[in-house]
Amino acid sequence: MPLIFDGHLDLAMNALGYERDQRLPVDDLRAFEVNAKDDGRETPTVTIDAMQKAGVACCVATVIARTKRVKPERNPIRRNLDYPTQDIAHGAAMGQLAYYESLQRQGVIDLINTAGELQEHWSRWQGGALDAPVGVIVTMEGADPIVEPEEVHHWYARGVRTLMLSHTADSPYAFGTPPWDSVGPPEQGPLTDKGRRLLDEMSELNMPLDLTHLCDQSFHEAVERFTGPIYASHSNCRALATKHRQLTDEQLKIIIERDGLIGTVLCNSMLRDGTPETLSHELVGLDALAEHIDHICQLAGDARHVAIGSDLDGGFGREWSPREIDTIADLHVLEDVLAKRGYSSDDVALVMSGNWLRYWLEHLPD
């Protein structure tokens, strides 16, 4: 079975926010949640157990906690990512990091901090080890938990290897993409002074910058200032899905020209334009994802700059995933979809795992 490297999953967010035991089989998790639909959650598609059985050998997984202006009477149910201050967000994100550390002590995952550890982990999976844990490279989705820019060194020492400056709208470091329920033209904003200082600290660490979730203005300011490695972990093409959450061709070309990668997302509302009625599970297929992959390959002139950043269970469930996707194991269907479009087996392997593997072998510390 070919191996998969997924560039973006929210494992700890789902564990701490929805109390999802990521060690369970997906069917057991669904049975546990069968009466929980009234709190807004959708049908889960990802567990570490499912990843192991499907050959999803490695992923980049998040810690995420935002700081936003909130009303005192807001019900602080933890599926909401927002906290009133950065130090509270810091504590929440540290809790997610501790969850990964607990899973590592149990032998469920391998926390990967260096290129050597990644190579050793990948070789174990290639050798057919049936009991191999899933490899996890930790990212921070929105830098809000970093109270002051210099603290990124502390997070790096704890194993965070990459980050995004913002998640949605305004943040302490940059201006992000609009929330899904926003209307009208998207708001724009620059990097903050703290954001510029954070990029300088990241440069000292040679820490890759994930450009996902940045508004256009902050995106362009960030790539001009930051000279280190860049990529977009889970972004699609605005030419095909016009919400400003996606990347323009100009932005895609900047990432490609700097030898970065774009991880394509399996959320139907990021695959094409439409309404909830036209973007349901039954009406959107993996052919739509292949169109985004094709578009990036055409811009690049090869298949070396596109990968999978599925974002499965990243605030949506099976209901808003392509119809071929019941669980993360069904990512393998994409191999056939791409092959039918004329992709060689070598290029399919690059999209499914090879490109992320190369990128992180190059940009993790020795």
Tens-digit pLDDT profile for residues 189-210: 999 999 999 999 999 999 999 9
pLDDT at 3 over 60: yes
Q: 47: which 2 tokens? A: 């567990």
Alpha-carbon torsion 298, 302, 305, 307, what sign?
positive
The answer to whether 17 and 319 are in contact (CB under 8 A) is: no
pTM of the model: 0.95
* The residue type at 360: W
Helical ranges in 109-184 per DSSP H: 115-126, 152-157
Mean per-residue pLDDT, 315-323: 95
Predicted local confidence at residue 43, as pLDDT: 94
Pairing of strands 209-210, 230-231: parallel
Domains of the chain: 4-363 (3.20.20.140)
The mean pLDDT value of the chain amounts to 93
pLDDT bracket for residue 291 (50, 70, 90): very high
Predicted local confidence at residue 36, as pLDDT: 64
pLDDT bracket for residue 76 (50, 70, 90): very low
d(CA 218, CA 305): 22
Please identify which residue in the block is written with the tokens 């290897």: 161
Helical ranges in the chain per DSSP H: 11-18, 26-32, 48-54, 86-105, 115-126, 152-157, 193-205, 216-225, 249-257, 286-300, 333-340, 345-349, 355-363
* The residue type at 338: L
Q: What is the three-class DSSP state of 328? A: helix
Q: What is the CA angle 39-44-45, rounded to 5?
A: 165
Query: What percent of the chain lies above the pLDDT cut of 70?
Result: 93
Q: Is 119 exposed, middle or buried (0-12, 13-18, 19+ CB in 10 A)?
A: middle
The answer to whether 259 and 232 are in contact (CB under 8 A) is: no
Q: Give the C-alpha distances (Å, rounded to integers) separating 132 from 25, 39, 98, 120, 202.
A: 16, 35, 21, 11, 32
pLDDT bracket for residue 277 (50, 70, 90): confident
Predicted local confidence at residue 84, as pLDDT: 82
Exposure letters 34-55 (e unless 16+ CB within 10 A, then b): eeeeeeebbbbbbbbbbbbbbb
d(CA 111, CA 104): 7
Q: What is the DSSP string of 103-126?
A: HHHTTSEEE--SHHHHHHHHHHHH
d(CA 364, CA 50): 26
The answer to whether 348 and 335 are in contact (CB under 8 A) is: yes
Q: Give the C-alpha distances (Å, rounded to integers) separating 324 from 5, 53, 120.
A: 19, 18, 32
What are the pLDDT digits (tens) for 123-167? 999 998 877 999 999 999 999 999 999 999 999 999 999 999 999
Predicted local confidence at residue 18, as pLDDT: 86
pLDDT at 316 over 70: yes
Rg (CA), the chain: 19
Pairing of strands 66-67, 56-63: unpaired
